[in-house]
Amino acid sequence: MDYDSFLRTDRLPTSWCAGCGNGTVLRAIIEAAHRLGWDASNTVAVSGIGCSGRTAGYFSFDSIHAVHGRAVPVAEGIKLHRPELNVILVSGDGDLCGIGGNHLLHAARRDTNLNVVLVDNEIYGMTGGQTAPTTPLGTKTITAPDGAWEKPFNVQGVIKAHGAFYARSTTWHVRHLAKCLDAAFRHPGFAFVDAKSQCTSNYGRRLGYRTAYDMLEHFKTAYRINDGAQTLADDEIGITA
């Protein structure tokens, strides 16, 4: 397939660090869009703020880089006015679950037909490595030097509580991620793919991972696939029922 036709090649290389998971997610989305025949005439990309918030701007689709936390309502405005447009929303855990958490749960409740891809690296990467809503309990960050003391945000619970589509995968399980995106993009309502991703510069490096590959190896061993489950356990990935 022709990746370049989906990319703003004039903007490459991306601003992301070597070893970042954002590129893997970008590629997986392009492939999924290609499989469905989505193109610039029928598709729009939306992002919020953060490293993964830059994703929208690398697509050759018309793209929107919204303010922090507001990618979801901007995307809803598009979809409500032009239901025929496919809307792909890519953003991070800080943007979608932290500052934008309220919009996320209401969009799920309204079941707006958006395709939301959460690039979940469990940290605020762009701003230097502060605690994120998804940072696991006890993990040390530059704003939680003694370890995060709050329970991480239960994004699966929020999405599924409102009956919306929820799938989880990782940047290691690229074929599984593709399967999740296919199912999400075909879903005729609010669809959410939680893509666990690695931040090497401001997270993994401080947690003792020497390379990006070490972080991917962690995904490989820490998660097992359980498609069709009602609810995924913390160590599972899959498309939930």
Partner 1 sequence: MAQKRLMQGNEAVAEGAIAAGMTFFAGYPITPASEVLQYLVKRPEVRAVQFEDEISSVCALVGASLAGARAMTATSGPGFSLMQEGIGLGHMMETPFVIVDVQRVGPSTGMPTLPAQGDVMQATYGSHGDYFPIVFYPNSVQELYEYTIHAFNAAEESQSPVILLSDGYLGHLYETIETKRNVRLRKRKRPPLGVGGRHFTGLTSVDNTPTPQDPEAHRRMIARMQAKQREVGARYAHYEYISNRKADTLVVCFGSLSRAVMPLADRYAIFRPILLYPPIEEFSEIAKRYRKVVVVEMNAGQYVRVVQRLMRRTALSLPMIGGDLDVLRLEERLKWITTAS
Interface ranges with partner 1 (CB under 8 A): 8, 10-11, 39-42, 44, 46, 56-57, 60-67, 70, 72-82, 85, 102-103, 106
Tell me the closest approach of the beta carbon of residue 25 to partner 1, in angstroms.
18
Q: Residue 136: is the preceding peptide bond cis (ω within 30°)?
A: no
Tell me the closest approach of the beta carbon of residue 110 to partner 1, in angstroms.
9
Residue 221 corresponds to which amino acid? Answer: T
- d(CA 197, CA 235) in angstroms, rounded, equals 14
Nearer to partner 1, 66 or 191 (CB): 66
Tell me the closest approach of the beta carbon of residue 61 to partner 1, in angstroms.
6
Q: Are 55 and 82 in contact (CB under 8 A)?
A: no
Residue given tokens 């701003």 in the structure block? 127
- d(CA 233, CA 231) in angstroms, rounded, equals 7
Token readout for 83 is 């239901």
Indicate the helix (H) or strand (E) that contains 194. Answer: strand 191-196
Nearer to partner 1, 69 or 238 (CB): 69
Nearer to partner 1, 72 or 232 (CB): 72
Tell me the closest approach of the beta carbon of residue 229 to partner 1, in angstroms.
29
Nearer to partner 1, 56 or 118 (CB): 56
Nearer to partner 1, 74 or 180 (CB): 74
- d(CA 208, CA 139) in angstroms, rounded, equals 12
Tell me the closest approach of the beta carbon of residue 89 to partner 1, in angstroms.
11
Catalogue the E-assigned strands of 29-153: 43-47, 62-65, 86-92, 115-120, 123-124, 130-131
